[in-house]
Amino acid sequence: MSEAMVTAERGRLRWLRRLSGITRRSPTMAAGAAILLVFALMAVFAPWITPFDPEAANARNVLAAPGGAHVFGTDGNGMDVLSRVIAGAGWAFGIAIPAVIVGVLAGVPLGLYTGYRGGWFDEITMRFFDALRVFPSIILALAVVAAAGPSLFNVVLVIGFLDSPVFARVVRAEVLALRHSTFVEAARAAGNPTWRILFVHILPNAIQGAMAQTAVRAAWAVRISATLAFLGVGIQPPTPEWGAMIRQGAEYLVTGQWWVGVFPGIALILMVLGLNMLGDGLQDLLDPRRKAATR
């Protein structure tokens, strides 16, 4: 029994050592992960830690200044700003995570296939991605969501699909390098079908670069969805989404009630900053080319 405890203790120590190793090698990444952990806890425990119901209006306590029972004040509907900022973390994750998953699910197989097959299909896909680059991404997302209708589902889908070229490009570059390696030729000679070669043999060796992109793309997804809501094209109030809250706060800034728009903006910056810091660290760790360039 004591032996089992020692093993467990040793396991924990190894885990801690690894963690401190990452922290030392990339303090930026560790700080980003810490920020995200706080937001994740906020999102998960929001129903228990919000001091008020984030969507409960109170017509008799409108635009109360920060302090007292309402630490961040109340907004134009008398809703508690702190509770809404906390609840907003859930919305940010709830859009960013599915959007990145859509981007990976659409982009990675496409990159695998185009890179492996090559030829005219590869050429056309890549030229199409090149053509997409001439549209500023924010404007493209806005226009498509506005045309498709501003539902949560559409927002996630559009952000995900606009992300997919990034993942496809990274995976394709890796596949091009692996295509003629011995293990792929061996797998082909053994009679594996193409899908098996792609997903079982090549994918595990080609996925690192794409994984390094996920955090930065999630940061982009959070920014875009908040921008959509700020313009009134995405998620609508009274949903506690940070962009929608900044939109509500915009009209009070010029009359002095700064807290309605400032606090959700700070939360948005911190979350995007956390994701960008994590992404920067991930790219340094996982992307060999970038590692070479920064050393």
Partner 1 sequence: MPIGKMLLRRVALVVPLLFVILLFTFLLVRISGQDPVGLLAGPTATDAEIALVRASLALDQPLWVQFGVYFGRVLQGDLGASWLSNRPVLGEIVERAPATIELMGWGVLIGAGLGIPIGLRAASRPDRSFDQVSRFLSLLGFSVPTYWLGLIMLFVFFYLLDWAPPGMGRLNLMLDPPPFFTGSYLIDGLIAADWEVANSAFRQLVLPVICVAIIAAAPIIKQTRAIALEVLGSDYIRYARAQGLPPREIRAMALRNSRTPVVTFIGTEITGLVGTTSLIEYVFAWGGLGQYGLSAIISGDFAAVQGYVLALALFSVIVFLAVDLFVMLTEPRAGIAA
Which listed residue (4, 131, 180, 193) binds partner 1 by CB under 8 A? Answer: 131
4 near partner 1, judged by CB under 8 A: no
- Region of 52-60, 111-119, 164-172, 269-277 interacting with partner 1 (CB under 8 A): 269-277
Which listed residue (173, 187, 253, 286) binds partner 1 by CB under 8 A? Answer: 253
Report the C-alpha dihedral over residues 243, 246, 250, 253, rounded to 10 degrees: -160
Annotate each residue in 204-233 with x if it binds partner 1 (CB under 8 A) or - if it does not, as one string. ---------------x---x--xx--xxxx
Taking the complex as a whole, the smallest distance from the CB of residue 25 to partner 1 amounts, in Å, to 12
139 near partner 1, judged by CB under 8 A: yes
Report the C-alpha dihedral over residues 51, 57, 60, 64, rounded to 10 degrees: 50
Both tokens assigned to 94: 């709830």
3-class state of residue 80 by DSSP: strand
- Measured in residues, the chain has a length of 295
Taking the complex as a whole, the smallest distance from the CB of residue 240 to partner 1 amounts, in Å, to 17
Toward partner 1, which CB reaches closer, 200 or 250? 250
Is residue 78 left, alpha or beta, with left meaning phi > 0 and alpha meaning psi from -120 to 50?
left
Query: Rounded CA gap, 111 and 115, in Å?
Result: 6
Q: What DSSP state is assigned to residue 70?
A: B
244 near partner 1, judged by CB under 8 A: no
Q: Which residue has the tokens 């090549």?
A: 202
3-class state of residue 74 by DSSP: strand
Toward partner 1, which CB reaches closer, 187 or 273? 273
Taking the complex as a whole, the smallest distance from the CB of residue 267 to partner 1 amounts, in Å, to 11
CA angle 271–144–251, rounded 5-degree value: 55
Tell how many helices (H) and how many strands (E) occur in the chain: 13, 0
Tell me which residues in 179-198 interact with partner 1 (CB under 8 A): none
Query: Rounded CA gap, 153 and 234, in Å?
Result: 10
134 near partner 1, judged by CB under 8 A: yes
47 near partner 1, judged by CB under 8 A: no
Give contact residues for partner 1 (rule: CB under 8 A): 28, 127-128, 130-131, 133-140, 142-144, 146-149, 219, 223, 226-227, 230-233, 243, 246, 249-250, 253-254, 256, 258, 261-262, 265, 268-269, 272-273, 276-277, 280, 293-295
